[in-house]
Amino acid sequence: MLAIRMQRNGRSHYPTYRIVVQEAERHPLSGRVVAEVGNYNPATKALTLDKETVEKYLNNGARPSTRVAYILAKNGVKLPKWVKLAPKKSAKAKHADKLRKNQPKEEAPAETAEAPVAEAAEAPAETAEPAEAPAETPAEA
């Protein structure tokens, strides 16, 4: 059985891929390739593809890898009905109840370094209000 897969080329930390048709039992780096149908550079997203040759191999039963099937579908190659694209993965926490944002909030302790400063700032405001109140009472009488 034939497989359409990507064969890694390029230098270290800068991969490029050849899209090849190969026997499925062989390792991608074995070098025994039936046909080279394109190139893909993930850094620049550049793709060269022989669409007619790819469709010929797909119609004759070659199975694309999941990544190759995604690339082919994205670039307008008509895939047979039996080719299934991989579903989109969604990030989901395994133990969401243990996350800090899902824990009940604890009250901050009343005695902190900022608490006396806040009380001192409020004290002058309280003394100013009672001074005004006695001034109003004699005027009314």
DSSP 42-62: TTTTEEEE-HHHHHHHHHTTP
In the chain, how many domains are there?
Answer: 1
Kindly state whether residue 102 falls inside one of the protein's structural domains. no
Averaging pLDDT over each range in 25-34, 51-60, 102-111, which range is the top one?
Answer: 51-60
Q: Residue 124: is its pLDDT beyond 60?
A: no
Is the CB of residue 54 less than 8 Å from the CB of residue 37?
yes
Provide the token pair at 140.
């009314």
- CA 78-82-87 angle, 5° bins: 85
Give the C-alpha separation, 55 to 79, whole Å.
7
Average pLDDT over residues 113-129: 55
Kindly state whether residue 40 falls inside one of the protein's structural domains. yes
Kindly state whether residue 141 falls inside one of the protein's structural domains. no
Q: Residue 78: is its pLDDT beyond 60?
A: yes
Kindly state whether residue 26 falls inside one of the protein's structural domains. yes
Q: Residue 80: is its pLDDT beyond 70?
A: yes
Kindly state whether residue 124 falls inside one of the protein's structural domains. no
Kindly state whether residue 49 falls inside one of the protein's structural domains. yes
> Average pLDDT of the chain?
80
Give the C-alpha separation, 2 to 22, whole Å.
6
Q: Residue 139: is its pLDDT beyond 80?
A: no
Kindly state whether residue 106 falls inside one of the protein's structural domains. no
Beta bridge partners of 6: 19
Structural domain that includes position 38: 2-74
Kindly state whether residue 61 falls inside one of the protein's structural domains. yes
Average pLDDT over residues 32-55: 92
CATH number of the domain encompassing residue 45: 3.30.1320.10
